[in-house]
Structure 1
Amino acid sequence: MSSSVPEDDLEQLESPIRHDVLKLSDLSKSTFRLDAEFQIAIKLGDNGLQNLENSGLVKKPLCGSNGFYREAFYPLRFKHIYVESNRSGIPFLLSSELFSLRPETSGYLSRRNTPDLESLMIQKWDVLISRCGTVGNVCLATDNLVGKALSEQVIRLRSSDANIAGYITAFLRSRYGRLQMSNAAYSSAIPYIEPKHLEQILIPDLPPIRRIALGRLMCEAGELRDEANQLLDEADQLLHERLNLPYLKSIAPREDASMSTKIKASQLMGRLEASFHNSVAIAAETQLDKLSFEVTTVGDSRVTQEIRAITKFRKRTYVEKGGIPLLSSKQIFQIDPVSVKRLAKGAHTKDLPEIQLEENTIAVTRSGTIGRVQIIPAYMAKWTASEHATRFIAAKDMNPGYLYAWLASDYGYCLITRNSYGSVILEVDKDMFSSILIPLPKKSIRNEIGNLVLRANQLRDQAWRNEQDAITRLENWIANKPTVPTQDDLSPNKIPLKDITYDPSAIPIWQLAAQISAKVPDEEWAKVPSDLSQRFDYYQGLKDD
């Protein structure tokens, strides 16, 4: 393999053979688990525990009688019986959607015919862990997920303490948590992890104040994403209202297997597939024809400056550490994807102008699962993505939020998916994307809709940074590294003490403290330990009790 990076930095295509000798006492400690990969990881110290041991921090198991949680559980398998609406059903989430930036329900489970429905329901501040396939994806349940049923492929950790739930989520998403979970998985084909394996995952028992600080950052991140998704829903609703477009589900005929559609030869548009001439797409076109303002195509230079179909680059050089994250078309939509591959910078410098992501670029899946739409948040800028997501760069005078809102709407989705071709793996090409219809209302309307989307994208970015702040702090504490100062600490606007002059008109500090404390909700005050003033050093972790 030719490459401009050192050979030592390249990802090995085959794992080296590793071996060691185990004692019976070693097997006893791991409940006699006869799994070579698991046991070797423990013996060689690459299961995430070595740094934890060296940290000197007190550790507790994730689950068990002495753990942070008493138990972990997941429901038994059951037959999925779906109904048409939420009147007689419960919104149902698959495990793959749970970890999405904008989770979408796969349907409604029957209330009447689903056994033990209560065990499927998500509760606020549940810590949810994928237990098969991609093991180790972790989600903190917030209001957006409450009231929905969840697949049995997800392990639940249940607690009413938001700060503990947030802290546990931060650790499990850190490199120490993920490494322990991946090593605990079993099976050679499809990896699995069971609740009993979580009893072997060790977590630092940090002082309460530190746990609370990290936990709140994670909880706030979840709430920011909820707010972002609410703004996206508002943008979608506003799109239909301002454009005077009814939702397609209210006007389009149901697409049953036996349905047929009659069209004229003049309407073929060079496509003979029945899927292209489906009744929903025809209903969408009919509504667009009724609009009082211009309808153009996405390829119009007033809409996009470029629709970038990514060339399939076959020679990829990966590195284990550093490098440039390469997201699959599935990972683009995930909160914190697991097992992200990293491209060697030197080997892919020429590819970057094409494959690198930019803030507010629109990415649309073009193969396999067609028509999923994402607007790239700031934290993904400079990352890369595979060729399975086509990029849409908005024109200078086009609000990218409006472009996203249209493509992600029910109209945009049906107009995208109708263009798909292929009998096994569906595809959509650049020219087909360019031909998709899009209304052009006046600029003020486009901005009104689009700015909601852009604000949501900013909230997603802030949520990510909150989480990374919490995870980085935790990893630094474990590794005994100094914590990097926050942006506020580095602010150039801070006034040196020598430059501060006495202000006789300033209110006394005790009055200022009273004003600030009055703004804090009672439920927040209830979380403050009643003996904080007497045991401050203990809560700071400066000394043992």
Structure 2
Amino acid sequence: MEITQVKSKTIISSSHILKPSYHMNYGKKRIETAIYNKFPFSTLEEVCTSVFTGGIFKRVFVDDSKFGDPYISAQHMMNTNPLDVAKIISKKYTPKQEEMSLKENQILVSCAGTIGNVRLISKDLEGIIGSQDIIRVNPNNSKIPYGYLYAYLASKTAYNYMQSYIYGSVVPRIEPKTLSKLPIPLLSQQKQIQIHQFIVEGSKFRQEANELMNTAQMKFDDLFEAKHCNIISFKQNSKNLKLFQHRFDASYNIYKQELDAIIRESGIPYKNLGEHINKIFIPNRGKRIYVKEGLQYLSTSDLSSFNPTGINKYLSLKMAGVDTLRVRKNWVLIARSGQEILGSTYLIGEQLNNIGVNEHALRVLVNENIAPYIYAFLSSRFGRKYLRAGIFGSAILTINEDYVKTLLLPELDEENKELITDLVIKSSALFDQAIMKENQAIELIEKEIDLWQAS
């Protein structure tokens, strides 16, 4: 049982709230202790020009980007590159587009479902339409640097404090008016600028990384995506059914053949992906034992986050099979189950080396020199459709190991292979630097708040 003491003036200033979860909140206790010790604070409202959500309206989606703009939800805003998963929302039927569109250096906070996720909008994401479940925070840079504010909002302390604002049972929520009351610590001007600079540099690295990765993926999409037409009919015979693992589902036998045909008829040499795979496996599926310190552990959806290292879940190092969950640099991971995330591909970089990842990520081990090239193909729009063509199951959709081996890998000329490999390697290194810079900024804030806990 956890016990705490709460001062009467704290209860009075908190609208007489007596909920234990409210007063025993990790972030709230840290901030209230610092305020009690007379360290300087402001509020989110005081350091911003506005804190608001977009209006509620009926969303109409279209297929052609000529008639719409990219649209992201609160869930998708945390992706490494939200444009990879963005839907296209109609320009004609979307009201208040100026208010709904995201601006460079704006800070986003998820306010429904999963509460308190934070994202800084870089220039490459400007103009995207954000859902009504995202609070927009427009910093007033004359009062506080936007990078510093973002780093604080992304910290463990602020995240936990925001949880104390949640209301609702079916769909948890927070409101902009409530979030505006969030206390903001006022570190020295020198510290604020230092932290801000880390975030600015990290954001720049992230934008460059996305641009390089997009260039690599487009090498494949330019060749194959345009040729991907509507599903057509194919006749199957018993011999082919044996080759296709005795599957009779139309989505597999039609869709997979269509995508195979696009590669075969392109005139570009190809090989079965299985010829490049040294090992493909699913790790231990046993019971998970969570602890405060141990092996950092990510879900497959966590891998899509632009900063997976900030997720604080840990497994006991004494747990059976724990080492099978570790991933290594240059491993290719494929989300083998789930819904939207199914078929997403990840290349493990330096920052994720030796971290644990759950069993829903299929491990694909290939030679280090070809891993970036294979990753670029599988993570392209065409590549993900190719992976998803092998889905089976009803309640839990799945992609299995045998199917991955049957995919055809285009063997581009050496010049393009080297170019794609170089782009992916540089992009991965920039992502690592972006994560490192952001973590340094957040760590500086947390350490300063640690110092403010002394009575």
Alpha-carbon spacing, 1:28–1:441, altered in 2? closer, same or farther (3 Å): same
Specify which of 228, 237, 251 is matched with residue 227 of structure 2.
251
Question: Aligned residue for 2:196?
Answer: 215
- Contact 1:299–1:307 (8 Å) recurs in 2: no
Question: Aligned residue for 2:153?
Answer: 172
Alpha-carbon spacing, 1:34–1:151, altered in 2? closer, same or farther (3 Å): farther
Alignment of 1:29 with 2:30, yes or no, is no
Specify which of 328, 334, 337 is matched with residue 364 of structure 1.
334
Specify which of 49, 58, 66 is matched with residue 31 of structure 2.
49
- Contact 1:55–1:479 (8 Å) recurs in 2: no
RMSD, aligned α-carbons: 2.6
Q: SS at the partner of 1:114?
A: coil
Correspondences of 1:122-521 after superposition (within 5 Å): 122-159=102-139, 161=141, 164-239=145-220, 245-247=223-225, 250-255=226-231, 261-265=233-237, 266-268=239-241, 269=244, 270-279=246-255, 281-292=256-267, 294-300=269-275, 303-313=276-286, 315-320=287-292, 322-336=293-307, 340-348=312-320, 350-352=321-323, 354-369=324-339, 370-396=342-368, 398-480=369-451
Q: Distance in 2 between matches of 1:81 and 1:475?
A: 42
Q: Distance in 1 between matches of 2:64 and 2:102?
A: 19
- Contact 1:51–1:478 (8 Å) recurs in 2: no
Q: How far does residue 191 in structure 1 lie from its aligned partner after superposition?
A: 2.3
Q: Distance in 2 between matches of 1:323 and 1:272?
A: 45
Name the structure where helix makes up a greater proportion of residues: 2
Q: SS at the partner of 2:365?
A: strand
What count of residue pairs does the alignment treat as equivalent? Answer: 443
Question: Aligned residue for 1:11?
Answer: none
Q: How far does residue 371 in structure 1 lie from its aligned partner after superposition?
A: 0.5
Q: Distance in 2 between matches of 1:462 and 1:130?
A: 25
Q: Deviations over 1:439-492 (max 9, x none)?
A: 2345553232112111101000000110111111122222239xxxxxxxxxxx
Q: SS at the partner of 2:88?
A: strand
Specify which of 51, 61, 81 is matched with residue 102 of structure 1.
81
Q: How far does residue 168 in structure 1 lie from its aligned partner after superposition?
A: 0.9
- Rg larger for: 1
Q: Distance in 1 between matches of 2:208 and 2:311?
A: 28
Q: How far does residue 117 in structure 1 lie from its aligned partner after superposition?
A: 1.8
Q: SS at the partner of 1:200?
A: coil
Q: Deviations over 1:59-79 (max 9, x none)?
A: 11112xxx2114311022210
- Contact 1:48–1:179 (8 Å) recurs in 2: no
- Contact 2:152–2:445 (8 Å) recurs in 1: yes
Ranges in structure 1 where 5+ consecutive residues have no aligned partner: 1-15, 482-545
Alpha-carbon spacing, 1:220–1:160, altered in 2? closer, same or farther (3 Å): farther
Greater relative contact order, per chain length (Cα 8 Å cut-off, separation 6+): 2
Alpha-carbon spacing, 1:113–1:32, altered in 2? closer, same or farther (3 Å): farther
Q: Deviations over 1:180-210 (max 9, x none)?
A: 1122222334321111222332121123232
Q: Distance in 1 between matches of 2:91 and 2:163?
A: 35
Alpha-carbon spacing, 1:83–1:160, altered in 2? closer, same or farther (3 Å): farther
Alpha-carbon spacing, 1:55–1:32, altered in 2? closer, same or farther (3 Å): closer
Q: SS at the partner of 1:457?
A: helix
- Structure 1 counterpart of 2:145, one-letter code: I
Question: What's the TM-score, normalizing by structure 1?
Answer: 0.75
Q: SS at the partner of 2:363?
A: strand
Alpha-carbon spacing, 1:53–1:161, altered in 2? closer, same or farther (3 Å): closer
Q: Distance in 2 between matches of 1:267 and 1:362?
A: 29
Ranges in structure 2 where 5+ consecutive residues have no aligned partner: none
- Contact 2:55–2:100 (8 Å) recurs in 1: no
Q: Deviations over 1:276-303 (max 9, x none)?
A: 0234x43321222235554222221xx2
- Contact 1:368–1:427 (8 Å) recurs in 2: yes
Q: Which moved more, 1:67-76 or 1:360-369?
A: 67-76
Q: SS at the partner of 1:158?
A: strand
